[in-house]
Structure 1
Amino acid sequence: RLRAVLRAFKAAGLTLKPSKCRFAYGELKFLGHVVSAQGVSPDPAKTSAVAEFPKPSDKKAVRRFLGLCAYYRRFVRDFAQISSPLTHLTKDDVQFQWGEEQEQAFDELKRRLQSPPILGHFDQSAETEIHTDASNTGLGAVLVQRQEGAERVIAYASRALSKAEQNYSTTDKECLAVVWAITKFRPYLYGIPFRVVTDHHALCWLSNLKDPSGRLARWSLRLQEFDVTIVHKSGRKHNDADCLSRAPVESPPDSSDDDDDARFLGAVTDADMGALQRDDPELRAVIDYLEGQGSSVPRVLARDLPSFVLQRGVLFKKNFGASNPAWLLVVPASLREDIFQACHDDPTAGHLGYSRTLARIRDKYYWPRLPKTVHLYTRSCHECQRRKRPPTKPAGLLQPISAPTTPFQQVGMDLLGPFPTSAQGNRWIIVATDYLTRYAETKALPSGTAVEVAKFFVESILLRHGAPEVLITDRGSSFLAQLTQEVLRLSHTSHRRTTAYHPQTNGLTERLNKTIADMISMYVDVEHKTWDEVLPYVTFAYNTAAQETTGFTPFELVHGRKVTTMLDAMLPHEPVEDGCDDAHAVSQRAEEARQLARLRIHDQQRVDARRYNLRRRDVHFQPGDRVWVWTPIRRRGLSEKLLKRYFGPYKIIRRLGDLNYEVLPDGTRPSARRQPRPEVVHVVRLKPYYER
């Protein structure tokens, strides 16, 4: 058997790590389950958490308990039916009130998960059946096989019907149960013959329809890829799936398990539509008025009253704004969610924005306050919020870092690379720049470790220019390492870190990186092996070039004199003076130059901020606000252009000035054992979270 398993892995091209393999075990624990020769069952160590779960005191606790139980719902027959008193409590429009029904459901789920059945292993060669059934509220299915002469349950499944699906005829509901169950268990069923057992005799002809149309045609096509036989079994002998179908659930089914046709209104007849319209209080008032049975109409509809008409018992509204005037169906509140799904969420609608979604709906449908409801729906769309950037100016005004008063009082530092390994074994460049004089210190490094960073700080900054008051870096591991932090502590240097994914905070150093790289590229050899030999020369060139902002060279502002180059020695360009200035005069001129440079930096920062802020918004959040956080990710094998950009929701924990905030994932419990560390996020990465 082991040889057969290893051959299967080899044929599939899979690689196994011996340290993670277990051989000759009677049973194994895997992802919260115990797998043995007898079958699959929940891990008792995991289900003990259910047994020890305290009685919920609010809706959040109920949701946590149901989420914990739902992981093992495949082992609990009638799971949804048992849990229905608890799921009812979690609805937004239901007040939390713990009663006898909830207590019984709570205890029963605990009991069931303490002694769950052992579900069988699926055997492709065994006789396979799916038992399906549909009720007025849900669908149920049981995957069973006949193994060693006995019927063995492989898995249970159930889900609720959407509002549109509840309007289906009995035959359509039973047919939907068959199609949904086969789709649900497709990984087991594809490529093998199997039977579907149903208590609805009319379904036996589904796969033999001569001329199917509409929904039945689409369902019939779905079954063409399967080797399926549909057989009838009376309801009295069909209790397993029947019980599951009567299990109400709180939320709509996942799109992967749901039938696409549930989002369309083709199943709603004129009589059904008229009845649904009369169930809507606002629309009923209009219908009563048109039938002469009422005189008062809601103010929101009174203005359009002359444009309403009843046809075949269904309320329509004249669309006078269209190029070809047409009648619009007046949609009751109970069906608007289905309209939104079809006109916004569905692939044929494309998750487009407010204007296009509104235009698509207005072309055929009408209901009161339509623009407002479309705005609220599109704004609160979870998928749109995760992907799309706000259609307004980016958040966050520019707040320049004030220029220091003395050289190397405030220093920015960064690592540039990796580069191709040079002849001397170097791969990185560490760069430091002074925020007043713009003077740069650089060094080629074999690695970007904390040891190299700390050594550079001591030798090139501390021993050459003195200890800076402030060091600004990104959040690289070398700068956050304990060794680096200890060196900074001993030198009494305050360490300021940029926020993640926002290097503009250390913009001066980032700009220097680009300049250094551009200069090196002009002199490096074709194999890019001599870049570290060129580095000292281009750094000298940078330090002796006049800065556009200050009007001085960094060398002059640091050393108090102009640099003398080899060209100056060969071609003297200044007359020889009889005397020379005293040290005080030289020092005074250097200090005046630095103060002038500081004023010029300040003036340029004001100009830059004014220009930058024209394209920005001043946005503020408050503690407790829920937000999305923009986080660029890359996943091997996936297109970066198609990945979601925003993650969350997160909750604002603390405001750190005008631009930075501390956030935590929403729902984090203060008493959690492994409390996550708050993340500091720049406001440009945040956008409001809108809940539906």
Structure 2
Amino acid sequence: MCEVGMKLRAEKCRWGCSEIRYLGFLISEKGVRMDDSDLKPILKLKKPENLAELRSLIGVFSYFRRFIRGFAALMAPIYDLTKKESTRDWTEKHDKILEEMKERLTTAPVLATPKFGKPFILETDASGTAIGACLLQENAQKEIHPIAFYSRTLNKHEKNYSVVELEALALVSALKQFRVYLEGAGTSTVITDNSALTSLFRRKDLQGRLARYQIVLQAFDVNIIYRPGKFNKVGDHLSRYPPEEDIQIKAIELKDKISIEKLMEAQKEDKEITNLTKNKEENIQIINGLICGKIQNDWKIIIPAGLKNTIIKEFHEDPLQGAHLGLQRTLEKIKRTMFWKGMTRDITDKIRVCEVCQRRKIVGKHLSREEIYPIEPASRPFDRINIDLLGPIQKSLRGHQYIFVAVDSFSKWAMAVPIRNQTASTIADIFFKEIVCRFGIPSLIITDQGTQFMSSTFQDLAKSLNFRHSLLPLITNQRMD
């Protein structure tokens, strides 16, 4: 600090603390929690006497909504009192909501610090008045802790949606809300209590809003599984999932042409599989009509020989499953729910002779997995910068038709520079003048796979300045944070 002339005010510093107060919250290595001293005046709140007090009450609770699961649904009746057509009659129902909010605030969980680059768990739910979600993650002790909660009320149009559309809306809204966590985190798990949602987005005949939701979903690497409502509840003191009393099998990631009925029929025709049930093997059980085996303490569907190649083709080539994923990721996706003897060898043999994969290896052999999926968080300002181009737009009087956009991942500081063209030399020149000369050389630059950034000009610049250049998957080139 002395070398760069920085000074600290001693009375504002805290050293050797295991926990520190910041913006009304207590932050420690375990995560973020509410400060009990701030709750005392909140617990003394009484029913509002006028509109100003009502809005003040909502504002106080809204500040802590990130700690409250289903906040919007719970507060919906109080929100309704602020509408112009409301008579603003505070009833016993509103008293109960006020007391319930106080109770939830006093028992709010600690929100764990996210581990970027590791898979997350996302629980979503919808009702007739609101949608909500909970983002969770497993820690080193195999305990599942909440990272953040999200909820909002439905508008008058959304209240007319069908049940499936509401559940889909909850899923897509949650993915957008937590996009900064989920991108680059590997395959995350989405848990829903609507079984139709597990296969809905693999259909090719979707129209209207469901088709639009399907496009949004393709930008995320998630595995949607079904868990009945009685098991899909995250308690206020959440630290891990309650043990399941019934055996539940993860949703099968197959398109409609491989139906559950077809799979059941194929199992019955496979003598090797049927013999397992006849012999009453300890690790074999029929679950929801499907013959399953217990593999490493997890029940998985046993795939008959006649469907092996079809399963591999579906998971490897289907664009909704990922479209020609590599060997390891294809293996991981299939192994989550299925099993057959020699599956690793069979999958490896199929992918090695895939023509599309071979062509991709030639074109993109210089792109490593790490380059495609940058996951490490920024450690300081201007250490990691996202770059993108906007345009063409209407040409200005000075001939500018594009905008060079850069966002610092650490501070979220953004800059926009008008440019006349989007050639590689122009991009390299603007990058050097506006970023390197002003803020120094970053350690990592993240871009899409535009020709300007893939060019030898930009690659040579990266080598000469010694910064890493990472590329986003094509389907995720939507916006930067």
Pick the TM interval, shorter chain.
0.3 to 0.5
Greater gyration radius? 1
- TM-score, normalised relative to structure 2: 0.44
- TM-score, normalised relative to structure 1: 0.31
